[in-house]
Amino acid sequence: MAVTHTPSEETHGKIDTEELEEIWADAPGVPGFFSTVDHKRIGMRYIYTAFFFFFTSGLMALVMRDQLAAPNNHVVGPELYNQLMTMHGTTMIFLFNTPVLAGFGNYILPLQLGTRDMAFPRLNAFSYWIFVLSGLFFYASFLLGKAPDGGWFGYTPMTAKAFSPGINLDFWGLAIVFVGISTTVGAVNFIVTAFKMRAPGMTINRVPIFVWSILSMAFMVLFAVPAVTLAAGLLELDRLFGTAFFNPAHGGNLLLYQHLFWFWGHPEVYILFVPATGMISMIIPVMSRRPLAGYLWIATALIAIAFISFGVWVHHMFATGMPVQAMSFFSAVSLIIVLPSGVQFFAWIATMWKGRVRFTTPMLFAIGFLLIFLLGGITGATLATMPFDWQVTDSYYIVAHFHYVLNGAVVFPIFGAIYFWYPKMSGRKLSEKWGHISFWLMFIGFNLAFFGMHLLGFLGMPRRISTYPSGLGWDNLNLISTIGAFIFAIGTGVTLVNWFHARWWGKPAGPNPWDADSLEWATTSPPPEFNFASIPVVASRHPLWDQRPLPTANPNGDEATKSLGPEGAEHHETPETTGLDARPEATLDLPHPTYLPFLLACGIAVFFVGLLIKAVLVGIIGVGALVVALTWWAWRTEVDLA
């Protein structure tokens, strides 16, 4: 392939972009909405939908904090409290944290890799539709007043038919299986994209750390999600068809459920956390104006976490009465998993140490993340010691710990990422001033809300209680926590308002407002539908810092390189490159907009509704739609290739 130098900000410089845009554009209006396969539109949708769930479930948390603000309170009764608690936890894990990271991955990954879309754009649209339909499916329970109340972890036999006879728990169990399809499909897409869709020259040791983190996350998803699908699936078989996998009276085993659930449940923590660290690894070097220290160490740590995270699940079950010798293995592994995070931590500190830090909003969130995650990580290590865990498990100490990790160490990076990447996504900047205000409200509110919960745990307050008596020394700390929660909520609201403002009146951002190093900043903001008219050629880990002007590739006239230049964009193609050293090896036809993913997702949704209401006919209709969509899909693929 021949390399030419074109100005970096104009990778689609001299060619007729209007013509290209016409080739790549979605149909306007509703048809375009349902048929798009553009990874950027899908990524944005993921993010917006996930944030809808974030604010909904955040409001539920505020109601719960209101109830717990004072002893013997009557804001909500135990029934509603238990529903809120279940909805809040399930929503945050399944419908906010996981998909919002998938959204950023979707949007950023192809741009960062210098390609024109994900490896499987239609599958990408499909996984979004599954996500949103499973979310609607789950929230239908709330609108019908039949919200599940078995806790986000759904321990059986409390969730078995005998103790939860209503349809409530079926919403939960089926939604878990349902949304798992989306996560799994997304993971496959990320893995193939990261390995096969990189710009020429982006060898495996030049891949941005965010891509490594998404890759690590995707592998964990592939091995972990089947376990939770199995847990919830077997539970639903017990509930809907009277099997006895979890019924000890008929030879079933209750701990089997817990093993399956946590075999997913602990890797899941890292599934959420690892991409968040990837965001941090993008923000800190840019805001410190120097390359990330210990690139190889961090990449290795990300892979190590993916492996080790599968050996720690039993620390959620230390109080179940398993033999101590057997549990001590998991105790040891739970201590060891501290090390990869320690490596990442010191790599970030080293990066800042020699750089000149710019205190922009993304960086504030990154530093806030460091200070919060440090505590969450330390309390995590204390939980690995079995005897101490016996005391504090299922107490408010745990609530404090995992909010430090899943709220502090995941939500803070996500807010940082919004301030960091929104200018790229929209072409407009968020207000720095309001960003700072939002950060400080969130940081102070967060610590007020959750630090005291450690102490509540020490004072013997169990978690998941809908009320508590006075006189146990819990009153003041709970009140402080509630105040903190409201301050935190206001902080997130400030960012929401900031977004509304920037969406219409924000200052233009330009292609690279932060002077960042990775390829997504090479194209315009917002990027055109085809991302890059000519695919850039990478010769460094930091192409926009080291390769000025950024070279782009031209076709050599052979099959492998023919899509590198603007002609490739014209033909709706993108190059496929080799897995390790990213040499062009083939040309991929990118699919055009299609309703297929939506149809397939609807078929699956109808099938789940059939299961829910136990209507065979509805189930058959769903399977019918599914079969038609799949057949059509397979047939069309063949046509596309011909």
Q: What is the footprint of another protein within residues 314-373 (CB under 8 A)? A: 319-321, 324, 328, 331-332, 335-336, 338-339, 342-347, 349-350, 352-357, 359, 367, 370-371
Q: Which is nearer to another protein, 190 or 415 (CB)?
A: 415
Q: What is the footprint of another protein within residues 426-445 (CB under 8 A)? A: none
Structure token digits, residue 501: 């403002």
Q: What is the footprint of another protein within residues 77-106 (CB under 8 A)? A: 77-79, 82
State which H helix or E strand residue 463 sits in: none
- Name the minimum Å distance from CB 76 to another protein: 12
Q: Which stretch binds another protein (CB under 8 A): 119-127, 470-478, 543-551, 610-618?
A: 470-478
Q: Which is nearer to another protein, 191 or 337 (CB)?
A: 337
> Does residue 55 interact with another protein by CB under 8 A?
no
C-alpha 268/C-alpha 266 separation (Å) is 5
C-alpha 536/C-alpha 542 separation (Å) is 13
- Name the minimum Å distance from CB 496 to another protein: 25
Q: Compute the C-alpha angle 416/419/420, nearest 5°.
A: 80
Structure token digits, residue 521: 């900043």
Q: What is the footprint of another protein within residues 152-191 (CB under 8 A)? A: 155, 157-158, 163
> Does residue 615 interact with another protein by CB under 8 A?
no
Residue 293 makes CB contacts below 8 A (sequence gap 6+) with 347, 348, 350, 351, 353, 354
- Name the minimum Å distance from CB 51 to another protein: 28
C-alpha 193/C-alpha 328 separation (Å) is 39
For residues 285 to 304, the per-residue mask of contacts with another protein, x marking binding by CB under 8 A and - elsewhere, is: ---xxx--xx--x-------
For residues 392 to 421, the per-residue mask of contacts with another protein, x marking binding by CB under 8 A and - elsewhere, is: xxxx--------------------------
State which H helix or E strand residue 5 sits in: strand 2-5
Considering only residues 474, 514, 521, 530, which one is a binding residue for another protein as defined by CB under 8 A?
Answer: 474
Residue 472 makes CB contacts below 8 A (sequence gap 6+) with 459, 460, 461
> Does residue 478 interact with another protein by CB under 8 A?
no
Closest CA to 290 of 301, 302, 281: 281
**Helices 121-143, 596-612: crossing angle, 10 deg rounding:** 30
Could you give the dihedral angle defined by the CA atoms of residues 53, 54, 55 and 58, in that order, rounded to the nearest 10 degrees?
120
Considering only residues 146, 161, 436, 463, which one is a binding residue for another protein as defined by CB under 8 A?
Answer: 463
Q: What is the footprint of another protein within residues 245-264 (CB under 8 A)? A: 248-249, 253-255
Closest CA to 576 of 59, 41, 62, 113: 113
Identify how many contiguous H helices and E strands the chain contains and give both numbers. Answer: 22, 4
Q: What is the footprint of another protein within residues 209-248 (CB under 8 A)? A: 248
For residues 559 to 588, the per-residue mask of contacts with another protein, x marking binding by CB under 8 A and - elsewhere, is: ------------------------------
- Name the minimum Å distance from CB 459 to another protein: 4
Q: Which is nearer to another protein, 467 or 524 (CB)?
A: 467
- Name the minimum Å distance from CB 92 to another protein: 17
